[in-house]
């Protein structure tokens, strides 16, 4: 059955901006590799982590999408108890590679 405008399910893309420790880029890269796989396991699509190259050396970004906000919220609930997710969080905490982060929710437009 086609969606009516009120029932439209829209993809949600999460944009993360990280302030990272510039001395721990390798650790942050490892953290990112873990999450790329985990997001896929939970039904999302990761668009990559973007690490400093030139310019600010303490800023990194990530983008990933879920088919809907409901699917993203399901992932958040399940990830809170998932051993691999908890291990990834623990890795970031122990290495102190992330100083802080900001999260934005976007609705992508594709051709």
Convert the pLDDT of each residue in 37-55 to its tens digit.
Answer: 999 999 999 999 999 887 7
Owner of token pair 């030139």: 54
For 46, the domain range is 24-106
CA 108 from centroid of its chain's CA atoms: 15
Give a yes or no: residue 8 inside a domain: no
Length of the chain: 111
Q: What per-residue confidence (pLDDT) applies to 5?
A: 53
Cα separation, 103 vs 97, in Å, equals 17
Q: Is there a domain that residue 7 lies in?
A: no
Instruction: For residue range 53-83, list pLDDT tens digits in order.
Output: 877 789 999 999 999 999 999 999 999 999 9
Euclidean distance between the first and the last CA atom of the chain, given in angstroms as a whole number: 23
Does the residue 15 lie in any domain? no
- Angstrom CA distances, 93 to 63, 83, 90, stand at 21, 15, 5
Please, what is the average pLDDT of the chain? 91
Q: What is the pTM of this model?
A: 0.85
- CATH number for the domain harbouring residue 96: 3.30.70
Phi and psi, residue 87, nearest 5°: -65, -40
Q: Would 70 be classed as within a structural domain?
A: yes
What is the number of domains present in the chain?
A: 1
């Amino acid at each position: 059955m086609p969606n009516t405008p009120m029932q439209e399910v829209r993809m949600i893309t999460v944009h993360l901006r990280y302030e990272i420790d510039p001395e721990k880029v390798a650790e942050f890269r490892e953290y990112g590799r873990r999450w790329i796989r985990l997001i896929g396991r939970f039904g999302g699509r990761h668009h990559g982590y973007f690490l400093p190259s030139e310019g600010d050396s303490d800023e990194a970004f990530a983008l990933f999408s879920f088919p809907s906000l409901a699917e993203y919220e399901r992932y958040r609930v399940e990830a809170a108890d998932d051993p691999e997710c908890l291990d990834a969080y623990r890795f970031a905490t122990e290495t102190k590679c992330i100083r802080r982060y900001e999260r934005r929710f976007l609705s992508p437009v594709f051709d």
